[in-house]
């Protein structure tokens, strides 16, 4: 297709097709990784909750989630983390780029966009190093509110365990459909 024809087609179809044309392979790779880890964690959480209840599953989440991120990092070369505007683990505080993504996602959900598909991909300069960055929203589903929901509705055992493990916990009070945080990937650009 000639460039002119492609451009006019893109104009006709809207910005989405322009983005699709311009998308680099690294974005697809980051998206693939970011969408593969959360279902694995969800499977572990669901199993643990079924077996021993939510308070039992806290330990699994505390240990398995960072372990899964570590394994994904090791296998892929991407640095993988989870961060939130209202973090539970003090290590999960966002940097400026992640914070901007999280705030943008919150605004878009408030405006009616579907949280499931919200993502941001950008090539940025980090102290002179060209870096690839990707963030994808982690929406609150029904299972999440057992540990991140309204404290008045949460199980007493869950609350007491969380208060011991995370005295600075800011990650309650969420409802289904909100964004709990993002899974965030970065690596030096090739
Ligand atoms: C059994 C309790 C439990 C359930 C259910 C649960 N979480 Fe968590 N969540 C935790 C704990 C504990 C941590 C802290 C983990 C750590 O120390 O790294 C956490 C941390 C997080 C973080 C990392 C940022 C932070 O605040 O530390 C995100 C993002 C997150 N949870 C999202 C979710 C989502 C989305 C769901 C539902 C799919 C969910 N969680 C379900 C207990 C739970």
Question: Considering the domain boundaries, does residue 77 fall inside one?
Answer: yes
Q: Which domain holds residue 61?
A: 22-188
Q: Is it the case that residue 184 has pLDDT exceeding 50? A: yes
Where does the pLDDT of residue 2 fall: very low under 50, low under 70, confident under 90, or very high at 90 and above?
very low
Question: Considering the domain boundaries, does residue 4 fall inside one?
Answer: no
Question: Considering the domain boundaries, does residue 158 fall inside one?
Answer: yes
| CATH code (residue 162) | 3.30.450
- Are 120 and 101 a contacting pair, CB within 8 Å? yes
- Looking from the CA of residue 41, the nearest atom of ligand 1 is 38
- Looking from the CA of residue 183, the nearest atom of ligand 1 is 29
Mutate to test the pocket of ligand 1, among 89, 94, 176 (most ligand atoms within 8 A of CB): 89
Closest C-alpha residue for ligand 1 atom 33: 144
- CA–CA dist 83, 180 (Å, integer): 9
Q: How far is the CA of 63 from the centre of ligand 1 (A)?
A: 11
**Residues 6 or more apart from 140 whose CB is under 8 A from it?**
148, 174, 175, 176, 177, 178, 179, 180
Please choose, from the candidates 106, 172, 96, the residue with its C-alpha nearest in 3D space to the C-alpha of residue 137.
106
Q: How far is the CA of 151 from the centre of ligand 1 (A)?
A: 15
Question: Considering the domain boundaries, does residue 10 fall inside one?
Answer: no
% the chain with pLDDT above 70: 88
Burial of 109 (0-12, 13-18, 19+ CB in 10 A): middle
Q: Is it the case that residue 166 has pLDDT exceeding 60? A: yes
Query: How many domains does the structure of the chain reveal?
Result: 1
Residue with tokens 């680099």: 24
Q: What distance lies between CA 105 and its chain's CA centroid?
A: 11
Residue count of the chain, please give it: 190
- CA–CA dist 136, 123 (Å, integer): 15
Question: Considering the domain boundaries, does residue 7 fall inside one?
Answer: no
Question: Considering the domain boundaries, does residue 5 fall inside one?
Answer: no
Q: What is the pLDDT of residues 18-57, one digit of tens each?
A: 454 457 899 999 999 999 999 999 999 999 999 999 998 9
Q: How far is the CA of 172 from the centre of ligand 1 (A)?
A: 10
Q: How far is the CA of 121 from the centre of ligand 1 (A)?
A: 23
Q: Is it the case that residue 134 has pLDDT exceeding 60? A: yes
Q: What is the mean pLDDT of residues 59-80?
A: 90
Question: Considering the domain boundaries, does residue 3 fall inside one?
Answer: no
Please choose, from the candidates 123, 112, 97, 111, the residue with its C-alpha nearest in 3D space to the C-alpha of residue 182.
97
- At residue 154, the 3 state secondary structure works out as coil
Ligand 1 site residues (CB inside 6 A) read 42, 45, 54, 57-58, 61-62, 65-66, 82, 84, 87-89, 92, 138, 140-141, 143-144, 146-148, 171, 180-181
The reported pLDDT for the residue numbered 61 is: 82
Question: Considering the domain boundaries, does residue 13 fall inside one?
Answer: no
């Amino acid at each position: 297709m000639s460039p002119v024809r492609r451009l006019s087609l893109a104009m006709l179809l809207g910005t989405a097709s322009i983005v699709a044309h311009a998308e680099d392979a690294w974005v697809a790779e980051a998206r693939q990784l970011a969408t593969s880890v959360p279902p694995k964690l969800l499977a572990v959480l669901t199993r643990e909750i079924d077996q021993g209840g939510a308070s039992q599953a806290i330990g699994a989440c505390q240990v398995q989630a960072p372990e899964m991120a570590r394994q994904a990092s090791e296998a892929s070369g991407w640095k993988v983390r989870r961060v939130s505007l209202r973090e539970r683990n003090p290590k999960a505080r966002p940097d400026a780029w992640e914070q901007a993504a999280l705030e943008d996602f919150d605004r878009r959900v408030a405006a009616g966009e579907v949280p499931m598909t919200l993502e941001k991909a950008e090539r940025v300069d980090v102290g002179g190093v060209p870096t690839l960055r990707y963030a994808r929203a982690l929406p609150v589903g029904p299972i999440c509110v057992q540990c991140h929901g309204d404290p008045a509705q949460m199980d007493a055992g869950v609350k007491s365990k969380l208060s011991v493990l995370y005295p600075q916990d800011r990650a309650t009070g969420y409802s289904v459909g909100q964004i709990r945080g993002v899974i965030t990937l970065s690596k030096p650009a090739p």
